[in-house]
Amino acid sequence: MGKMWAGRFSKEADSRVNDFNSSISFDCRMFKQDIQGSIAHATMLGECGIIDKEESLNIANELGNIFQEIHSGELAFDPDAEDIHMFIEAELTQRLGDAGKRLHTARSRNDQVALDIRLYLRDEIANIDKLVRELEDTIVKLAEEHTETVMSGYTHLQRAQPITFAHHLMAYAMMLLRDIDRLDDCRRRMNYCPLGSGALASTTYPIDRQMVSDLLKFDGVTMNSLDGVSDRDFCIELASALSILMMHLSRFSEEIILWCSWEFKFIELDDAFATGSSIMPQKKNPDITELIRGKTGRVYGDLQTLLTMMKGLSLAYNKDMQEDKEAIFDAIDTVKLCLTTFIPMLSTMRVNKENMRNAAAKGFINATDCADYLVKKGMPFRDAYKITGQLVALCIEKNTTLENLPIYEYQQLSGYFDNDIYKAISLDTCVMQRKVVGGPAPEAVKQQIEYVKGKLKVEE
Ligand code: ARG
């Protein structure tokens, strides 16, 4: 294919330059958005009398045909076209002649690409948002089944205080709510139409930018033509929101990896969502969660690529910016892949309540409650803390637990102790008593579940 700019040049480009310059292998995925944008642009050109109205209708029609043909696989991308924008324009011109050549009036590839990426990311944000909501539903369902499943909460990966499995799960539900919020925020800031910015300094044609913006369902137009074509902060913002989302998925994955180890055995993955070993017959490996943990680094890398790519660019467009697409596409693909696999893995895993409870019983996680018992009887907290520490040491020495330590051992350390200590330190009491807003008591967790369900409904 001859170059659009052949008039200015006396030589064909070196084939290595063509290959190096080309972005069609990866920007072809924006064909739908490129066509949508061109149809809106052509419609506006016709309405404003910049091109003939009938020609504008023909252009829009033919672009519709091109879309259908690409979609059905009938029309293949030409690897020699520099990018998706050039390919579609050339295809249109081949079919319509002069009318096709008029499409690019009052437009540059610089505002065209800035538009296409926004349209593309807007669609993908909606897809990711849907997947995160599905994950929220899965978590909430699981939590509803486990509001009374006692387990230990951890700090430093050391058993700390009793909670329930539902409480633990709902922590992730809260994080994901904020992820949804961040995606929404990102979409809101990106949703301004840059078309009309031209190459950098807008255009002298009497275009109607608002009309294009309305046709493409933007919230308005970008207000500075240099900014419109040269910032990619919306890509960076999205990559950053996706990095945070991946960080959450990665922590959740790390816990699942621990929980299905023989040491914990809190959960068992469904056979369909685990893998075996080629040499060790006993193995059932949590590959999915490990891959999610691993792929998190990849999304962070995409964010780093974008930040670094942009940091030294003078205004306005520079070709460096073509590198935005592979990075943000990779981040999107990775997040979607991870969510799509994580959701069914989570909904099919089996929870071993008994092992959760046994682990909780052995870790002195009721020690705080034992100290609180003394405080409630009138002892200052620091003294109560010290006596409880001595009791724990005694239990370790005698290889027993606070629940099984005889009352006379308690009473030797403080006269405040009575038989009601056993009820006060039972794991169920410990959980039930923590019923403040945000706590692990079943009623408090049910409140969290209702909160998340409500948020998901309102924001739909
Ligand atoms: N393929 C280019 C990109 O992705 C389109 C914009 C090209 N503009 C230019 N002046 N070379 O950035």
Q: How many CB atoms lie within 10 A of CB 252?
A: 23
Q: What is the number of the ligand 1 atom nearest to the C-alpha of 82?
A: 1
Confidence of residue 241 (pLDDT cuts 50, 70, 90): very high
% of the chain beyond a pLDDT of 90: 91
Q: What's residue 379's pLDDT?
A: 96
Q: What is the pLDDT of residues 1-43, one digit of tens each?
A: 567 777 888 888 888 888 899 999 999 999 999 999 999 999 9
Q: pLDDT at residue 377 above 80? A: yes
Residue 459: the pLDDT is: 57
The protein residue whose alpha carbon is closest to atom 10 in ligand 1 is 110
Question: What does the pLDDT read at residue 1?
Answer: 58
- Cα(86) to centroid of ligand 1, in Å? 10
436, 444 contact by CB (below 8 A): yes
Q: What pLDDT sits at residue 276? A: 79
Residues having CB within 6 Å of any atom of ligand 1? 23, 27, 83, 109-110, 113, 317, 319, 321-322
pLDDT tens sequence across 441-454: 999 999 999 999 99
197 flagged as catalytic: no
Cβ neighbour number for residue 431 with a 10 Å cutoff: 29
What value does the mean pLDDT take over residues 192-210? 98
Kindly report which listed range (66-75, 174-183, 270-279) carries the lowest average pLDDT score. Answer: 270-279
Kindly give the distance from the C-alpha atom of residue 323 to the centroid of ligand 1, in angstroms, as a whole number: 10
Catalytic residue list contains 156:
yes
CA distances from 291 to 129, 272, 295, 302 (A): 21, 16, 6, 17
pLDDT band at 362 (very low <50, low <70, confident <90, very high): confident
Please report the pLDDT score of residue 279 as a whole number.
72
Annotated catalytic residue: which of 10, 72, 156, 314? 156
- What is the CA(319)–ligand 1 centre distance, in A? 6
Distance 130 CA to ligand 1 centre (A): 31
Average pLDDT, the chain: 95
Are the C-beta atoms of 140 and 346 separated by less than 8 Å?
no
Mean pLDDT of 103-124: 98
Question: What atom in ligand 1 is closest to the CA of residue 83?
Answer: 1
Q: Residue 135's pLDDT is what?
A: 98
Tally Cβ neighbours within 10 Å of residue 251: 15
Q: Name the residue type at position 232.
A: R
Mutating to test ligand 1, I would choose from 27, 83, 306 the residue with most ligand atoms within 8 A of its C-beta, which is 83
Instruction: Tell me the pLDDT band of 460, cut-offs 50, 70 and 90.
Output: low
Q: Residues 276-291, buried b or exposed e (16+ Cβ, 10 A)?
A: eeeeeeeeeebbbbeb
pLDDT band at 164 (very low <50, low <70, confident <90, very high): very high
Least confident among 30-34, 281-285, 306-310, 420-424: 281-285
Q: How many angstroms does the Cα of residue 32 sit away from the middle of ligand 1?
A: 17
Candidate list 277, 278, 414, 426, residue with the active-site label = 277
> For residue 388, is pLDDT > 70?
yes
pLDDT of residue 103: 97
Question: Percent of the chain beyond pLDDT 70?
Answer: 99
Average pLDDT (125-154) is: 98
Mutate which of 82, 320, 322 for ligand 1? The one with the most ligand atoms within 8 Å of its CB, which is 322
For atom 3 of ligand 1, the residue with the nearest CA is 322
pLDDT in tens, 270-290: 988 888 777 777 778 889 999
Tokens at 55, concatenated: 């020609």
Q: How remote is the CA of residue 110 from the centroid of ligand 1, in Å?
A: 6
Distance 26 CA to ligand 1 centre (A): 13
Closest C-alpha among 385, 389, 391 to residue 403: 391
